[in-house]
Structure 1
Amino acid sequence: MTSRFTELSVDCHDPELLAAFWCAVLDFEVIDRGEDKVEIGSWEPTAEEVRARQMPPTLVFIQVPEGKSAKNRLHLDVSPIDGSTDDEVTRLLGLGATKVDVGQGSGRSWVVMADPEGNEFCVLRTLAPSD
Structure 2
Amino acid sequence: MASKFTELAFDCADPEGLARFWCEVLGYEVQGREDGFVSIGSPEVPEGARRPGPVPPVLTFARVPEGKVVKNRLHIDVNPTDRDQAEEVERLLGLGARRADVGQGEGDTWVVLADPEGNEFCVLATRRP
Scaled by the length of structure 2, the TM-score of the pair is 0.88
What are the Cα deviations for residues 11-49 of structure 1, in whole angstroms up to 9, with x where unaligned? 0000000000000000000000010110000046xxxxx
* Contact kept? 1:19, 1:30, Cα under 8 Å: yes
Poorly superposed stretches of 4+, deviation over 3 Å: none
In structure 2, the gaps of 5 or more residues are 45-53
State the partner residue of 1:47.
Answer: none
Instruction: Kindly state the Cα deviation for residue 114 of structure 1 after the two structures are TM-superposed.
Output: 0.1
Give the aligned partner of residue 17 of structure 2.
17
**SS of match in other structure, 1:10:** strand
Aligned to 1:125: 125
Measured after TM superposition, the shift of residue 127 of structure 1 is 1.2
Report the counterpart of residue 49 of structure 2 in structure 1. Answer: none
| Residues in 2 aligned to 1:9 and 1:128: alpha-carbon distance in whole angstroms | 24
Matched length: 120
Give me the whole-angstrom Cα distance separating, in 2, the residues matched to 1:80 and 1:97.
15
Q: TM-score of the superposition, structure 1-length normalised?
A: 0.86
Alignment match, 2:50: none
Task: Extract unaligned runs of 5+ from structure 1.
Answer: 45-53
Quick check: 1:83–1:128 contact (8 Å CA) kept in 2? no
| CA–CA separation in structure 1 for the residues paired with 2:104 and 2:22 | 23
Query: 1:95-126: CA deviations, max 9, x gaps?
Result: 00001110012111100000000000000013
Task: Provide the C-alpha distance between the structure 1 equivalents of 2:21 and 2:104, rounded to a whole number of angstroms.
Answer: 24
Q: Which has the higher helix share?
A: 1
Amino acid in the other structure paired with 1:25: V
Q: State the superposition RMSD in angstroms.
A: 1.5
